[in-house]
Structure 1
Amino acid sequence: MSLPPPVNEYRTMRVAEVLSDFRTLQYYIAAAPVDPPNMDDYYTEGYAALRQCALDGQHILNCAADITVPRSSGGADEQAKAELKQVHLDAYARRHEGQKIYLRQAAAQRWIEWRDQILMGGRPHSGNTSQLRGVDQQLRAELASITDESIYAELQASDVGMDRWVGEDPSLRAIQRWVRARCR
């Protein structure tokens, strides 16, 4: 009979999975356009959102990691547990914020597609103003629907669906505290 792997191995695997997810999100975030083909569109809502997402993506990379881990009195395994839990929270919070940025970018990129369909290669004019206003309102509604709660639930469901070990994932409140402490 073989024994199950020690829990710290599960913790290590979980941190690696979450960091891999975050790295993938960073590639997508970095690859998104930020400048319009026509610079007259520079200050439109969608392109402003894309530029903010690029800045936010860089910011989440630059947030300092919390390297203060409480000393454990339970030996090497307990100290490793404390360190892994700290790294897990850091990685999980970064992935959460990365997913938020990615979803905001996706909404802005849909806005570009809708706007391009309305303009059909032309420029804004009085005949398409109300349609353009409509896509701006749609973008604002989509951006408003991207909440911490919905992202947390989506990521949790995805992890469970991939049969990942989620037994010690941080709570949404812990993630929000991490973001406030590290990234503001």
Structure 2
Amino acid sequence: MADGLNEYRTSRVAEVLSDFRTLQYYIAAAPVSPADMDDYYTEGWAALRQCAIDGQHILNCAADITVPRTTGGPEEQAKAELKQVHLDAYARRHEGQKIYLRQAAAQRWVEWREQILMGGRPHSGNQSQLRACDQQLRAELATITDETIFQELLASDLNMNRWTDEDPSLRAVQRWVRARRR
């Protein structure tokens, strides 16, 4: 009954967990508060704070350790457990990538806003530019979808010649995420 792929499964889980760990470092390193507290509630800074909260949540949410018992012996049981851990790691990486991309968009917004303000404060002369900056942030955030992230991560994995034969589907990832939001 054993298919001999548990070594590949173990390596794949390690790769995905390593990716997730790297994403967590980037997420944790992003700023969450502006130098000028008058900007605290602006769109970009609010997005950065939400990303920090989401990053902490995805790190802290419990793993699903309910693995069904198999009848095929220790190798089959190990396979079932590895598949469960794989889904958990894969979904966390997916969510981490989404958070990281949202943070990057918000950090670009901060840079654009600083360029517009040039060390000054918002006033009637720069309101249209600031609105355009906010609209650009909203547009960028709207492009960060589960589907695009899933495809980009898959393309990256394939480009690195990683074993992806048993990677979870997008639906499985979305189910995992929904279960953690309860």
Distance in 1 of aligned mates of 2:29 and 2:21: 13
Distance in 1 of aligned mates of 2:173 and 2:144: 16
CA distances 1:87-127 after superposition (whole Å, capped 9, x unpaired): 00000000000000000000000000101111111110000
After TM superposition, list the pairs within 5 Å mapping 1:8-47 onto structure 2.
Answer: 8-47=6-45
Residue of 95, 98, 107 corresponding to 1:100: 98
Letter of the structure 2 residue corresponding to residue 167 of structure 1: D
Superposition misfits of 4+ residues, deviation over 3 angstroms: none
Distance in 2 of aligned mates of 1:119 and 1:83: 54
Distance in 2 of aligned mates of 1:107 and 1:130: 20
After TM superposition, list the pairs within 5 Å mapping 1:79-118 onto structure 2.
Answer: 79-118=77-116
Matched residue, 2:75: 77
Q: Is the 8 A contact 1:60 1:97 kept in 2?
A: yes
Matched residue, 1:154: 152
Distance in 2 of aligned mates of 1:163 and 1:183: 33
Distance in 2 of aligned mates of 1:172 and 1:162: 20
Matched residue, 1:167: 165
Distance in 2 of aligned mates of 1:27 and 1:61: 11
Matched residue, 1:141: 139
Letter of the structure 2 residue corresponding to residue 112 of structure 1: V
CA distances 1:125-146 after superposition (whole Å, capped 9, x unpaired): 0000000000000000000110
CA distances 1:6-53 after superposition (whole Å, capped 9, x unpaired): 310000000000000000000000000000000000000000000000
Distance in 1 of aligned mates of 2:160 and 2:57: 29
Please tell me the root mean square deviation across aligned C-alpha atoms, in Å: 0.9
Distance in 1 of aligned mates of 2:121 and 2:178: 41
Report the Cα offset of residue 183 of structure 1: 3.1
Letter of the structure 2 residue corresponding to residue 155 of structure 1: L
Q: Is the 8 A contact 1:56 1:101 kept in 2?
A: yes
Letter of the structure 2 residue corresponding to residue 48 of structure 1: A
Report the Cα offset of residue 182 of structure 1: 2.1
Contiguous gaps of at least 5 residues in structure 1: none
Q: Is the 8 A contact 1:18 1:91 kept in 2?
A: yes
Q: Percent identity?
A: 83
TM-score by length of 1: 0.96
TM-score by length of 2: 0.97
Letter of the structure 1 residue corresponding to residue 110 of structure 2: I
Report the Cα offset of residue 62 of structure 1: 1.2
After TM superposition, list the pairs within 5 Å mapping 1:50-69 onto structure 2.
Answer: 50-69=48-67
Distance in 2 of aligned mates of 1:182 and 1:90: 11
